[in-house]
A = this chain, B = another copy of it.
């Protein structure tokens, strides 16, 4: 599969490397074609990796991963080019965390909408699926590092797109039974608004290597 990974932060690099290790061709996109982090990542990734602008990467990918900083995601996707996102599965792993007033961050989009919904609205012909934003990068691509069952979530309006993402998650090591389809793209509000609690868990447990398991009455 040809995948565009937009964003050169820890999430983008980790997802990109995992995809390469699984044999996918990955183009990492950033604001500038000569982004040092992206170029270094592509060099390390070898034949299957390349770096370019958001637009270059999105044009290359059959699937697009939005791993940009959440408060800049809409701008990044706009510069990726609407035509390059059309009819493609767009996996949104970003969180609209606003650190401009320091720590802890607030959510720049909240309550009656979500980043994923705003992306879907801005790109109505893209097949947006929210996922992976509820765990740190290490856990995203290596769920087995945590003991016992724990869950990852899907939100989106397009069943076939969620099925593709579910398969990708399984290839990352997520067990099918632990992948929970929460429903349409509005359910992204829930997983995005969970982030402040994730940050409190980080503080209380002293590690970001954590996740939640949803326990339901039998």
Contact = CB atoms under 8 A, between A and B. Distances in A.
Interface of A: 101, 104, 106-107, 110-112, 145-150, 180-183, 186-187, 189-191, 193-201, 203-205, 207, 209-218
Contacts of A147: 215, 217-218
Centre residue among A104, A145, A189, A197 by max chain B CB count within 10 A: A197
Contacts of A187: 200, 203-204
Nearest to A218: B147
A34 to B, nearest CB: 36
Contacts of A210: 214-217
A116 to B, nearest CB: 13
B196 A189 contact: yes
Which 9 pairs, one residue from A and one from B, show the smallest C-beta to C-beta distance?
A209-B217, A190-B197, A190-B200, A106-B111, A212-B212, A150-B215, A213-B213, A190-B196, A210-B216
A201 to B, nearest CB: 6
Nearest to A106: B111
Contact of A101 (B106, B112, B199, B214): B112
